[in-house]
Structure 1
Amino acid sequence: MKLQDILTPDCTICAVPGASKKRILEYLSSLAANKLQNQDTYSLLESLVKRERMGSTGIGNGIAIPHGRVAGATKPVAVVITTEQAINFDAIDHRHVDIFIALFVPEDECQNHLVTLQNIAKIFRDKQFCKQVRKCQSDQALFQLIQQAS
């Protein structure tokens, strides 16, 4: 599945204030909780924290892709945010992170989960694209930029 197919304008936010990994994960979870029936922020946060315990989802170049499997979810949901300031996210390259792409998928969709993660990584591997993401001044501009990504 493509990121563009599961991302909505209300889950695409620019310049989020946040000074810690925990606060960012909470924010991502709260946005997704509004899109997933029978899910609350806490259960979604737990799915992200569980995955982070296995190793940071900070993939380098100021980008993180926190993701979690969600019991009882019927559809995948993506959340994309940029932060006002880059934060320490224990990324593999030890750089702070300012672009977050969170993915919440139904527990039983393992293959779809992997394909979607590959699609996200492919889009955000492009350094020019990431520069454009960081320059976005509005949520709508960020959403449109991602929708146009190939």
Structure 2
Amino acid sequence: MQLSDLLSPDCTKCAVEGASKKRLLETISAIAAPKLVGITKHDIFESLINRERLGSTGIGLGIAIPHGRLANATQPVAVLMTLEQPIEFDAIDNQPVDIVFALLVPESEHENHLNTLATVAKRMNNKECTRSLRDAHSDQELYTMFVSEDQAPECN
């Protein structure tokens, strides 16, 4: 599955204010909820927070990939954000986070979930890609940089 199949421009936000990890997960939930028929912001938030209780999804280098599975979801949805100011996220390297890629998938799509997480982690491990994402000045520019092979080959 292509990341552009999961991420839409309206789920891509540049320079978001994220005062805390909890507030950020609430924001992700509010952005994703309209894309998931029959699933509430609260359902999404609970899925994300329950996953965080197992261990932080802050993978280091200022990046977090919060994710969760939803029993009643029929399709996967992603949310990409850069933050105006880095926030504490209990990342594995103890560094604050300023790039967040959230992934929500149907509970039955375990293998796709893991493959997508691996793809995102690989992309985020590319310093040219993360530099480009941090340099984005608008939601559309951030989206284009992340999903377009033509305009952002360093991210692919």
TM range, normalised to the smaller chain? over 0.9
- CA-CA distance at 1:2 after TM superposition: 2.8
Q: Look up the match of 1:71.
A: 71
> Is the 8 Å Cα contact of residues 74 and 106 (structure 1) preserved in structure 2?
yes
Q: Deviations over 1:22-78 (max 9, x none)?
A: 000000111110100001111000000010000000000000000000011000000
Q: Deviations over 1:121-150 (max 9, x none)?
A: 111110111011001000000000011232
Following superposition of structure 1 onto structure 2, how do residues 113-124 of structure 1 map, counting pairs within 5 Å? 113-124=113-124
TM-score if structure 1 supplies the norm length?
A: 0.98
- CA-CA distance at 1:4 after TM superposition: 1.9
- Cα distance in 2 for residues equivalent to 1:20 and 1:45: 14
User: Would you identify which runs of 4 or more consecutive aligned residues in structure 1 move more than 2 Å?
Assistant: none
Structure 1 unaligned segments of length 5 or more: list them. none
Give the number of the structure with larger relative contact order, counting CA–CA contacts within 8 Å between residues 6 or more apart: 1
- Cα distance in 2 for residues equivalent to 1:5 and 1:43: 22
Q: Look up the match of 1:22.
A: 22
| AA partner of residue 33 (structure 2) | A
RMSD: 0.7
Query: Alignment identity in percent?
Result: 55
- Cα distance in 2 for residues equivalent to 1:54 and 1:3: 25
- CA-CA distance at 1:5 after TM superposition: 1.6
Structure 2 unaligned segments of length 5 or more: list them. 149-154
- Cα distance in 2 for residues equivalent to 1:9 and 1:30: 15
- Cα distance in 2 for residues equivalent to 1:101 and 1:2: 14
- Cα distance in 1 for residues equivalent to 2:63 and 2:146: 15
TM-score if structure 2 supplies the norm length?
A: 0.94
Partner SS, residue 143 of structure 2: helix
- Are positions 1:8 and 2:8 aligned together? yes
- CA-CA distance at 1:116 after TM superposition: 0.5
Q: Look up the match of 2:125.
A: 125
- CA-CA distance at 1:18 after TM superposition: 1.5
Question: How many equivalent residue pairs?
Answer: 150
